[in-house]
């Protein structure tokens, strides 16, 4: 089959492409770079107004007229590419607004691509109308909106996806849902809000390329190495402030027994290299399931503090803190779990093996690709 994947977040579509190609399908990705991460794509949509004077001019024109030059630039690139983006058997959009444009232009782009293809699918794997409205209604015990709701974060509010609650983005959501064959969730954080929705066709766990990411048995010879990777725009949203507080508690008690590595906003390839020597990765707090960074680290045999809530334990029928460490929004709880691992380093090795086995069983990229193919086939027109 010819398959077009539209948009890229955290390497999800790249890993899915690799799995589908293993199964002899022809796969194309059209996307802009995911922020500073710079994942590979086949048709790169270039953003011209991200830095310097051009960005200032763009922002000024938008404030005065409501016209977004970057959105127009992106739409024009899609128009030029339309012949190469036509006549695919399957098209999958990674998000309701995969290019970060205004709602009107995201709708135009969706119509440009969906209008020359059949069998259109949508992923819920990042903020969108359904997940943000569910969190905004406080149906989760805690959510990515918690730092915003409690007034902790007043700087990078765009990171919370609040735009999806605006009327024009709700209209975009409704427009897309009328046209798609169905929507697929990538993990439980998106599965839970979509339950019982008529367009929801199931959860397919994130695909991880287990051939690229080799398992490395933890070598604990001197200090236990803890890695804290920070994306500055998501500092509060990911709970990095809580991790920082937990690390301060740890430093006062175990400075001789731990080495802490903290990095900020690294491109993907540099990020992967930066945590290679780590035994423990601090990923995110306000989650119920693991996101992409956590899963890739688990594949490499790291002990990851991330979303591993009761809903996840029940879904996969696993025991708490045996595969991933559930990081709740409490620095004292996180510090205690870190202390437990420092005092019991054999647990690091045990969890490392369990994490890799879990990824191979539930997230292997070829297995995931097969699930996508079955789901698409079952819901094709």
pLDDT in tens, 256-304: 899 999 988 777 778 777 788 899 999 999 999 999 989 999 999 999 9
- In CATH terms, are 2-207+364-379 and 224-362 the same topology? yes
pLDDT in tens, 351-381: 999 999 999 999 999 999 999 999 999 999 8
pLDDT in tens, 119-158: 999 999 999 999 999 999 999 999 999 999 988 887 778 8
Mean pLDDT along residues 345-353:
97
Q: Exposure pattern of 64-103 as b/e (b: 16+ CB <10 Å)?
A: eeeebbbbbbbbebbeeeeeebeebebbbbbbbbbbbbbb
User: Measured between alpha carbons, how far is 316 from 158 in angstroms, rounded to an integer?
Assistant: 33
pLDDT in tens, 314-330: 999 999 999 999 999 99
> For residues 329, 332, 336 and 341, what is the CA-based torsion angle, rounded to 10 degrees?
60
User: Measured between alpha carbons, how far is 367 from 202 in angstroms, rounded to an integer?
Assistant: 15
Instruction: Kindly list the domain boundaries of the chain, sorted by start residue.
Output: 2-207+364-379, 224-362
Look at residue 231 in the predicted model and tell me its pLDDT: 83
**CATH class in words for 2-207+364-379:** alpha beta
For 293, the enclosing helix (H) or strand (E) is helix 292-299
Mean pLDDT along residues 187-204:
97
pLDDT in tens, 69-127: 999 999 999 999 999 999 999 999 999 999 999 999 999 999 999 999 999 999 999 99
Residue 36: pLDDT over 60: no
pTM of the full predicted structure? 0.93
Architecture, CATH, for domain 224-362: 3-Layer(aba) Sandwich (3.40)
User: Measured between alpha carbons, how far is 273 from 293 in angstroms, rounded to an integer?
Assistant: 13
Look at residue 303 in the predicted model and tell me its pLDDT: 98
Contact 97, 103 (CB under 8 A): yes
Neighbours of 267 (CB within 10 A): 13
Residue 51: pLDDT band with limits 50, 70, 90: confident
**Residue bearing tokens 């202390």:** 339
In 150-261, which ranges are continuous DSSP H helix? Answer: 167-179, 188-194, 240-254
User: Measured between alpha carbons, how far is 160 from 96 in angstroms, rounded to an integer?
Assistant: 15
């Amino acid at each position: 089959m010819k398959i077009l994947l539209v948009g890229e977040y955290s390497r999800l579509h790249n890993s899915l492409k690799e799995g589908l190609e293993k199964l002899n399908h022809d796969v194309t990705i059209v996307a802009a770079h995911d922020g500073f991460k710079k994942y590979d794509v086949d048709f790169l949509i270039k953003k011209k107004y991200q830095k310097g004077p051009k960005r200032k001019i763009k922002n000024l024109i938008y404030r005065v007229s409501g016209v977004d030059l970057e959105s127009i630039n992106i739409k024009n690139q899609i128009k030029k590419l339309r012949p190469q983006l036509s006549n695919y058997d399957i098209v999958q959009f990674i998000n309701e607004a995969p290019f970060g444009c205004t709602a009107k232009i995201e709708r135009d782009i969706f119509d440009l691509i969906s209008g020359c293809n059949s069998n259109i699918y949508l992923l819920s794997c990042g903020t969108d109308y359904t997940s943000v409205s569910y969190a905004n209604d406080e149906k989760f015990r805690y959510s990515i909106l918690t730092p915003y709701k409690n007034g902790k974060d007043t700087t990078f509010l765009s990171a919370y996806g609040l735009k999806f609650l605006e009327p024009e983005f709700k209209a975009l959501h409704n427009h897309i849902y009328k046209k798609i064959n169905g929507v697929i969730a990538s993990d439980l954080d998106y599965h839970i809000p979509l339950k019982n929705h008529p367009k929801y066709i199931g959860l397919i766990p994130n695909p991880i390329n287990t051939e690229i990411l080799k398992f490395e048995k933890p070598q604990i010879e001197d200090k236990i190495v803890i890695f804290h990777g920070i994306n500055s725009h998501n500092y509060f949203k990911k709970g990095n402030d809580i991790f920082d507080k937990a690390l301060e508690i740890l430093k006062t008690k175990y400075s001789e027994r731990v080495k802490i590595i903290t990095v900020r906003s690294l491109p993907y390839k540099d990020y992967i290299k930066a945590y290679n020597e780590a035994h423990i990765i601090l990923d995110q707090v306000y989650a119920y399931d693991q996101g992409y960074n956590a899963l890739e680290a688990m594949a490499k045999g790291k002990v990851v503090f991330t979303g591993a809530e009761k809903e996840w334990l029940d879904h996969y029928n696993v025991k708490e803190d045996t595969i991933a460490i559930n990081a709740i929004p409490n620095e004292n709880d996180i510090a205690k779990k870190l202390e437990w691992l420092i005092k019991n380093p054999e647990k690091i090795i045990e969890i490392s093996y369990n994490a890799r086995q879990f990824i191979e069983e539930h997230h292997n990229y070829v297995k995931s690709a097969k699930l996508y193919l079955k789901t698409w086939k079952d819901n094709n027109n």
